[in-house]
């Protein structure tokens, strides 16, 4: 079964009808019959993005749906993930990659994934195929 990595930008696009990638994210989700991999670090970043009071129910509903969906795997946060992500962050001072992105890149490589549902060029810079742009 084909598995793709789901980044924060993908979830933002799904939730925000005004996002420039919304239609593409909805279309991909409806047509895709594979599995999704994401991390608790992505959920943390998304929760921070949606922290304002009117947006909290959006995050909480999505988080509950993701946990119930058998096609979604959420990697739990570990100290080892943080350390490996920090290692990549340190080794690439030439990039504007966030620590969350670095952790994601490490997780993708370990899982053997090459495709990401993302909306920024950082995944492309890191050598992955971005599916939403």
Instruction: Please report, in angstroms and rounded to a whole number, the separation of the first and last CA atoms in the chain.
Output: 23
Given this model, what pLDDT does residue 27 score? 97
Task: Quickly state the pLDDT bin for 133 (edges 50, 70, 90).
Answer: confident
- Helix, strand, coil % over all residues of the chain, rounded to 5: 55, 15, 30
Given this model, what pLDDT does residue 33 score? 97
Mean pLDDT value across residues 69-76: 98
User: What is the β-pairing status of strands 3-6 and 35-39?
Assistant: parallel
Name all domains of the chain by residue range, CATH numbers in brackets.
3-130 (3.40.50.1010)
Q: What's 17's DSSP letter? A: T
Q: What is the dihedral of CA 64, 66, 68, 69, to 10 degrees?
A: 160
Given this model, what pLDDT does residue 5 score? 98
Residue range 19-53, pLDDT digits in tens: 999 999 999 999 999 999 999 999 999 999 999 99
């Amino acid at each position: 079964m084909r598995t793709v990595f789901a980044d924060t930008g993908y979830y933002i696009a799904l939730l925000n009808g005004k996002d420039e990638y919304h239609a593409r994210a909805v279309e991909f989700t409806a047509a895709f019959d594979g599995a999704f991999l994401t991390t608790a670090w992505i959920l943390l970043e998304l929760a921070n993005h949606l922290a304002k009071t009117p947006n909290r129910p959006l995050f909480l509903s999505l988080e509950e749906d993701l946990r119930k969906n058998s096609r979604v795997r959420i990697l739990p946060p570990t100290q080892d993930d943080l350390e490996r992500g920090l290692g990549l962050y340190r080794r690439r001072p030439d990039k504007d990659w966030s620590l969350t992105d670095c952790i994601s890149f490490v997780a993708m490589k370990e899982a053997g994934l090459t495709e990401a549902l993302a909306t920024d060029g950082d995944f492309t810079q890191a050598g992955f195929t971005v599916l939403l742009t």
